[in-house]
Amino acid sequence: MAIEIKKAVIHVLDKGADEPLLNEFELEINDDIQVFLEKHIIKSMNDDDARKGRFKDGLNIVKEVSYRILSEDDYFLEGSKEIARQLFKAIKTNSSISSTDLIVCLYEDESLPAVAILKMDYTVSFIHDIEMVENKFKINIRKQDISLPGVNQRIQKCAFVLSPVLDNDYELVILDNQISKGAEEPVAMFFLNTFLGAELVLDSKACTKILKKETEKWVRDKIKEGEPFAEEVRELVNTAIHEEDEIDIEAFSNRIFGKKEELRDEFVNNLREKGLTHEKFEVDREWVEKRLRKIRLKTDDNIEIVIDYELFGNKDKFEIINNPDGTKTVIIKNISSINHN
């Protein structure tokens, strides 16, 4: 993915002030700024927790302003100010939402324009501070409380409004770290609901991720670790995700739980509460091959095992044996050499 930064501006949103501090000048796009913005945009767009989204019906200032920025070259600065005002209003709705800087950026991806809305939450950094004391250098370390996220850090909340000429079932890409962690209280949802006025699209990637992630959470919460049934559930989920093109939630749940109707209903209801509302969905094969190619195991005494999915199910190479006393024996078979890293 290669992008070109066309325009950018930064505004300061201090929740202790009555109004946002709005920039009257665009940023000069030198090499450093180009790299800084490009890396943040690419990293955020490709983040595993980034979700496709759609604007809700009705009046939506962020949508209208973003589309106008995409179509009117001389509207960028004024449009960015309006986006900043909308985010400032959303921030002021809850005392626990912190002050921030906002970067609005017009960029091109494969010659198509898009608008990046980057909420740059402050990070703490440290720099050296030099002073002269009696003609001698005195060098201290000084704390910086309002540093912007570095290129190797993750932006917590951002959105990318795509060109309307694209024939997609989504209009923007949203990265919201609070939502991805399962937080549902208003303070966590303010960026998506109050500011963007958008909703997440439940595509095949989202469905596949929810099934895998929430099944593991459910197993840990509801089944005693070490019980054979816990491993049965995990194995059935892994097999379905890796080998089936489409998963029917009802049929899949019946396969796991059989006549354990209460557990089955609880499992299905939990998936629905976490956003998996489709009765069936196509497995996102690209996401599975990228993210679930390896299985990671960790024992209670902190031994970690990382193994390819194909080898995990091959009993000629790897096997986990349940012992009568409740312990497990892990066997690695038919190896010719071991490398010590």
pTM over 0.85: yes
Max intra-chain CA distance, the chain? 84
341 residues of the chain, pLDDT tens digit each: 689 999 999 999 999 999 999 999 999 999 999 999 999 999 999 999 999 999 999 999 999 999 999 999 999 999 999 999 999 999 999 888 999 999 999 999 988 999 999 999 999 999 999 999 999 999 999 998 989 999 999 999 999 999 988 878 899 999 998 877 765 666 778 999 999 999 999 999 999 999 999 999 999 898 877 677 888 898 899 999 999 999 999 999 999 998 889 989 999 999 999 999 999 999 999 999 988 888 888 888 889 989 888 888 788 889 888 888 878 899 998 888 888 76
Q: Which has the closest alpha carbon to 204: 232, 258, 246, 162?
A: 246
Beta bridge partners, 160, equal 116, 173
Q: By the 8 A CB rule, do 171 and 62 touch?
A: no
Predicted confidence at residue 213, as pLDDT, reads: 93
DSSP at 150: P
73: helix, strand or coil: helix
209: helix, strand or coil: helix
Predicted confidence at residue 184, as pLDDT, reads: 62
Q: By the 8 A CB rule, do 260 and 254 touch?
A: no
Place of tokens 């749940």: 253
User: Rounded distance, CA 121 to CA 36, Å?
Assistant: 15
Q: What single letter denotes the amino acid at residue 79?
A: G
Q: By the 8 A CB rule, do 197 and 149 touch?
A: no
Q: By the 8 A CB rule, do 51 and 42 touch?
A: no
Predicted confidence at residue 201, as pLDDT, reads: 95
User: Rounded distance, CA 14 to CA 76, Å?
Assistant: 22
Predicted confidence at residue 294, as pLDDT, reads: 87
Predicted confidence at residue 300, as pLDDT, reads: 84
* Per-domain boundaries in the chain: 3-121+153-201, 205-332
